[in-house]
Structure 1
């Protein structure tokens, strides 16, 4: 469907972001001109998906819509056991309740925010084994999302008794939506088998990953996306899925697995946290839309159009010498904030500062993938400073035109031109104990006055650190 997007003045945006405590998540949607906060649940569904919603079976147990979804998952991924959930993080909560316990170590390639949160809330630890090349944004490599096999083997050797599974995230969101090669997936499987460990796939953007395999991995050029998807998942024991990404739905998710034992244990938690095992927090119509969306997402023509729009924005940024994670990924452009705001200190949240400046410039909402998202160490409570400070501009599926991308590029150009004038960032007024970036309150460094002594005290602590 089409809806009006509202323009605003800079003065209005200055007031709105101040009222939101400089947290872009807290803005009202009609205060945003082009919304690139996330591609999760923000795309447009197809006529076939809406048609399926009209025939949704809302039976509490054993609905026809559930079996349509189950058959689709079997056809695409070849898993016999499946549990629906209301979204991907719910699938993490259910399955990790079965597999993760206190003291565990979960190696993988850049666990995303909710994944790491579900690990750490169970007093376990996530270890990032992404290849080092991913942390140099200007290196052009086809599969910067890969797991470093040497790092992974070190973890498996050192913590063998504490590793419940190896997690592969496709595509690798935190390092720029970068894909994982099929060769790397196979090698991870071999290592996991050597140490008798199962492998799980965080599969939110599985179809985009399959597209890159087809385009960049010569062996698979002649294969269809669906064939590549089947091959990818033949090397793993289970999957977690947010249907809000490559399911092209506004809500929905699931977990799927080969193990009947995992399924039976997870079913108990699914009933407790989500709903009965044949609806799991979803209406029948949503399960039907997800079944159609998964099939549509594996069509090459759709993927080519979707990913080439990301490339289009990247080429526009090249013209303005704005540096981003190269090559451009599948769902977003990730601006290298460190290379733009060179005067802002790491303690002052470089990528968040850039995100706020872009919003003030033109009402464009992105999201920080940096120190705020990295959160604090669960033991020391010190800020974790990641290698990359990125501003992610996630492009919703089937939503914006290339004219919108031109506006985004020109707004970034304007911020880039005045980058040397941006010398101060932000401090934290309030933060929760976990996943702080969603609900944190910030204040600009220059706004500290006698009227807000609590903030002044906090920044003095930051400076001492």
Structure 2
């Protein structure tokens, strides 16, 4: 059949609060034109993030009731550990309260001034933890990924020619790790091919550089490989995932994405010596190594979710539902990243609002307008999130100006998504009336979370 139905039934519901345009105008003003500062009860459709916003299954809720809350050596930890070991093939598994905690621990040990971490595209918290250590994050996205409107099967790939050149210029000794983000969140939720993973691994091995995977959306990436890469059509998602991880020396993961959990993450490693260092830091910052800042019930939910996310019926529904919204917007002329990514729709705000200069943050202007028009909360992934300043205080813009509509897993129905498309298309049809913004207050790192802005007159 042409219709892809949700492979689940809804067992519990929660209310959505409806606001008027007048109320949203006042709310946005009070939030200084930053939807991160808007109370959730004032949001109609929340597409700010897919992190920690998924609906857990009845099996996960049952697992929560069986969580072992022992401080040390809990049964739930060993269940969690066995599942992560099985998927990643890595012997040392360190739980953390979320992905950025794993990053903080890893980069505190590996980072430092004069060092470079190279990636296809680093996401915000990854880059912030690298920079906090004194190191520099370098994005080497493939050329296809830099053109939102031009379809390509694996636009999340790392440019291997540029990687080899960078290693030659800076020296392998200055690069503690190369990191592949799968799928490539900042690059439009685009997948990374198995061939690219193999090529990056080969380059790293030849130069004795450790290779890591940011595995937040590993199952979605594996499904894209099954759909689009020769030789994998008859492979299971689990087998593809295991092969992806087999090339890596380590992995970080926020379990708030592809494990359906509301909190949690892990650091997986092959190196026993590095794992010992990480565990020592874990004890100082997160907790004992067998709970790592998590309740036993959360460890159970993650272990169950990691299995559920690899079910092909779910992944078929997940990827097709993202395509559904992307196709509707594309048909209406809205400039979206093509093809659709795995977890979100990415609108090219530079093409959507060509009259707003980059220095006036067109992505954030669009984010605000979507909230005003329909109570939809989204996030800018552009120069507000990733922009820097030069010595003269002038903005160094991000590579792309995107707005992400991140779809929580198993949360919204087709009618919700149809509503989202109607709001976006309505805003697109009167886009010439939208004005830019300026920053009035910002933090030195991760400024988009707390920045205050105001409209330009």
- What TM-score does the superposition give when structure 1 sets the normalisation length? 0.94
Q: Deviations over 1:265-296 (max 9, x none)?
A: 10111001100111000000000000000111
1:162 partnered with 2:181: no
Could you tell me which residue of structure 2 aligns to residue 453 of structure 1?
Answer: none
Deviation of the 1:318 alpha carbon: 2.1
Counterparts in 2 of 1:378 and 1:293: CA distance versus 1, 3 Å? farther
1:63 partnered with 2:74: yes
- CA distance in 1 between counterparts of 2:234 and 2:389 reads 45
2:132 to 121, 125, 130: 121
Counterparts in 2 of 1:347 and 1:287: CA distance versus 1, 3 Å? same
Could you tell me which residue of structure 2 aligns to residue 435 of structure 1?
Answer: 446
Could you tell me which residue of structure 1 aligns to residue 432 of structure 2?
Answer: 420
1:385 partnered with 2:397: yes
Could you tell me which residue of structure 2 aligns to residue 460 of structure 1?
Answer: none
1:351 partnered with 2:363: yes
Could you tell me which residue of structure 1 aligns to residue 153 of structure 2?
Answer: 142
Q: State whether residues 375 and 436 of structure 1, in contact with CA within 8 Å, keep that contact through their aligned partners in structure 2.
A: no
- CA distance in 2 between counterparts of 1:290 and 1:263 reads 21
Deviation of the 1:319 alpha carbon: 2.4
- CA distance in 2 between counterparts of 1:430 and 1:7 reads 30
Deviation of the 1:377 alpha carbon: 4.8
1:281 to 278, 293, 297: 293
Deviation of the 1:8 alpha carbon: 1.2
1:80 partnered with 2:80: no
Q: State whether residues 390 and 396 of structure 2, in contact with CA within 8 Å, keep that contact through their aligned partners in structure 1.
A: no
Deviation of the 1:96 alpha carbon: 1.2
Name whichever of 50-59 and 370-379 sits farther off.
370-379
Which consecutive residues of structure 2, in runs of 5 or more, have no partner in the other structure?
Answer: 1-11
Cα RMSD between the aligned structures? 1.1
1:194 partnered with 2:210: no
Deviation of the 1:378 alpha carbon: 8.7
Q: Deviations over 1:232-286 (max 9, x none)?
A: 0010000000000001100000000111011001011100110011100000000
Could you tell me which residue of structure 2 aligns to residue 237 of structure 1?
Answer: 249
Q: Deviations over 1:180-217 (max 9, x none)?
A: 00000000000001111110000000000000000000
Structure 2 residue matching 1:17: 3-state secondary structure: helix
- CA distance in 1 between counterparts of 2:437 and 2:123 reads 23
- CA distance in 2 between counterparts of 1:14 and 1:377 reads 31
Deviation of the 1:380 alpha carbon: 7.2
1:182 partnered with 2:191: no
2:353 to 306, 322, 341: 341
- CA distance in 2 between counterparts of 1:123 and 1:71 reads 35
- What TM-score does the superposition give when structure 2 sets the normalisation length? 0.96
What is the count of residue pairs matched by the alignment? 445
1:203 partnered with 2:230: no
- CA distance in 2 between counterparts of 1:165 and 1:69 reads 26
2:56 to 35, 45, 58: 45
Q: State whether residues 335 and 351 of structure 2, in contact with CA within 8 Å, keep that contact through their aligned partners in structure 1.
A: yes
- CA distance in 1 between counterparts of 2:32 and 2:310 reads 40
Counterparts in 2 of 1:380 and 1:222: CA distance versus 1, 3 Å? farther
Could you tell me which residue of structure 2 aligns to residue 25 of structure 1?
Answer: 36
Q: Deviations over 1:147-202 (max 9, x none)?
A: 00011111111122210011110000011000000000000000001111110000
- CA distance in 2 between counterparts of 1:197 and 1:341 reads 42
Q: Deviations over 1:311-349 (max 9, x none)?
A: 110111122111111100000000011111111111110
Superposition pairs of residues 83-94 of structure 1, within 5 angstroms: 83-94=94-105
Q: State whether residues 43 and 396 of structure 1, in contact with CA within 8 Å, keep that contact through their aligned partners in structure 2.
A: yes
